[in-house]
Amino acid sequence: MAITQGSAGLRATRKIQVGLESPSARGTPVVATARLIGTLTPKLNQKYHRPSEYETGQFNDYIKSWVISQESAATFEGDLTYEQCMYHLGMSLRGAITPTGGGGSPYVWTYTPNQSASQALDCRTIEYGDNVQAQRMAFCFAKSIEISGQVEEAVKVKTEIVGQPLSNQSFTGSISAPTALSPVIVGTAKAYLDTSWATLGTNQLPYTVFGFDWKLVSDKGSPVTPVKYMDGNVYFTDWAEQKRHVELTIDAAYNSTIAGAFSTNLAALNQTQALMFVQLKFTGASITGGSNIFILNGAYVLDDYSELKEREGQDEVQLKFVSQLDPAASTNEWSVIVNNNVSAMT
């Protein structure tokens, strides 16, 4: 069999392109308007009806297969950047966010949970492929998001995306790869532990935090799940939002700073379930009117802590926090704030 030279798909040509679907027409594919930098692993998941109990007079199990359910799944992984992090936050935390600021000041994107209504997540059409074939999936949103990093690393973001069935499609043309992305660097962060939401960012924990893991989760499995109906399709056409919370894990030196900040031992703090307020603030390069900033705020209780480990000759402890609503204000559970020079998302 003859093979045409250059016909193989090339890793270097893979790309991810996205477009924002209308909230009133989720699932209707749109052309891409931006290219994301990272890696994506899309896959079509199907369920089948293959009856084997029929009395056919033969020993073979199956005589026919029917597709009864379809759903695309994809994992996005990459550096968290000040310029593109809003794509991931809008698909997983809260959609339709409009920044404040501008006019000589940084644009400020604020993501807080709506405790009494839908999060109105941004749904996107995603194009993915290489020089041989592109594929498209519509109605894409993120079932989960995880943001993490350790010192001497860039912060990483991981989202678990679901969408309607993959289909072959040509890439939207004339979309250039972004050339001015700034990754969020773990070492630029400062960690704060305070006694109220109003004072977040006051009491710094110096010489203490090595790394962190922040993720949105639900006791129901996923914060948002696709829903299928009898509406003429074998794929989902709606979603259901669940109760959710944030889990924050901090890797910290077990030192006098930790002891002083908590004002008690970890065992007592774990038993009393006292509310604490934690901020991780990352500061990047200078931009018009300020700096790139990425902030993770939260009201937490200490859920668990590890036995002491060793890290670079120091005792290290891993602290696991879960978010809990601040009784002082119904909106204060967690928030993500981004300062950058991006005025709008497409």
According to the model, what pLDDT value does residue 132 have?
Answer: 84
What average pLDDT does this structure show over 198-224? Answer: 95
The structure tokens listed for 276 are 């604490």
Above pLDDT 70, what percent of the chain? 97
According to the model, what pLDDT value does residue 60 have?
Answer: 87
Task: Tell whether the model's pLDDT for residue 154 goes beyond 50.
Answer: yes
d(CA 253, CA 17): 41
pLDDT band at 188 (very low <50, low <70, confident <90, very high): very high
pLDDT band at 329 (very low <50, low <70, confident <90, very high): confident
Q: What is the distance, to the nearest Å, from the Cα of residue 195 to the centroid of all Cα atoms in its chain?
A: 27
Task: Tell whether the model's pLDDT for residue 4 goes beyond 70.
Answer: no
According to the model, what pLDDT value does residue 226 have?
Answer: 96
What average pLDDT does this structure show over 230-254? Answer: 96
According to the model, what pLDDT value does residue 1 have?
Answer: 42
Is 96 contained in some domain? Answer: yes
**Could you list the residue range(s) of the whole structural domain that residue 321 is in?**
14-46+67-169+183-340
Is 249 contained in some domain? Answer: yes
The structure tokens listed for 204 are 């710094």
Q: Chain-wide mean pLDDT for the chain?
A: 93
Is 307 contained in some domain? Answer: yes
Residues 19-51 pLDDT 10s:
999 999 999 999 999 999 999 999 999 999 998
d(CA 301, CA 320): 9
Nearest to 158 by CA among 15, 41, 17: 41
Is 153 contained in some domain? Answer: yes
Task: Tell whether the model's pLDDT for residue 13 goes beyond 80.
Answer: yes
Is 54 contained in some domain? Answer: no
Roughly how many angstroms between the first and final C-alpha of the chain, as a whole number? 45
Residue with more model confidence, 327 or 297:
297
Is 225 contained in some domain? Answer: yes
Residue with more model confidence, 147 or 258:
147
Q: Give 312's DSSP letter.
A: T
d(CA 346, CA 330): 31
Is 345 contained in some domain? Answer: no
Task: Tell whether the model's pLDDT for residue 290 goes beyond 50.
Answer: yes
According to the model, what pLDDT value does residue 263 have?
Answer: 63
* Planar angle of CA 185, 186, 188, nearest 5 degrees: 70
Say if residues 50 and 137 touch (Cβ distance below 8 Å): no
Residues 91-135 pLDDT 10s:
999 999 999 999 999 999 999 999 999 999 999 999 999 988 999
Task: Tell whether the model's pLDDT for residue 249 goes beyond 80.
Answer: yes
Task: Tell whether the model's pLDDT for residue 341 goes beyond 90.
Answer: yes
Q: Give 306's DSSP letter.
A: P
160: CB partners within 8 A, 6+ apart: 73, 74, 75, 142, 143, 144, 222
Q: How many domains does the chain have?
A: 1
Say if residues 313 and 103 touch (Cβ distance below 8 Å): no
Where do we find the tokens 């950058």? 340
**In the chain, which ranges are E strands?**
15-20, 34-36, 39-49, 66-79, 100-101, 107-111, 124-129, 134-150, 156-163, 167-168, 189-194, 209-217, 224-227, 238-241, 245-253, 276-287, 290-305, 309-311, 314-323, 334-340
According to the model, what pLDDT value does residue 148 have?
Answer: 98
Is 295 contained in some domain? Answer: yes
Instruction: List beta partners, residue 314.
Output: 311
Handedness of CA 134, 139, 144, 150 (dihedral sign): positive
Three-state DSSP state, 272? helix
Please give the backbone phi and psi of residue 88, each rounded to the nearest 5 degrees, phi first.
Answer: -75, -40
Nearest to 148 by CA among 38, 27, 261, 247: 247
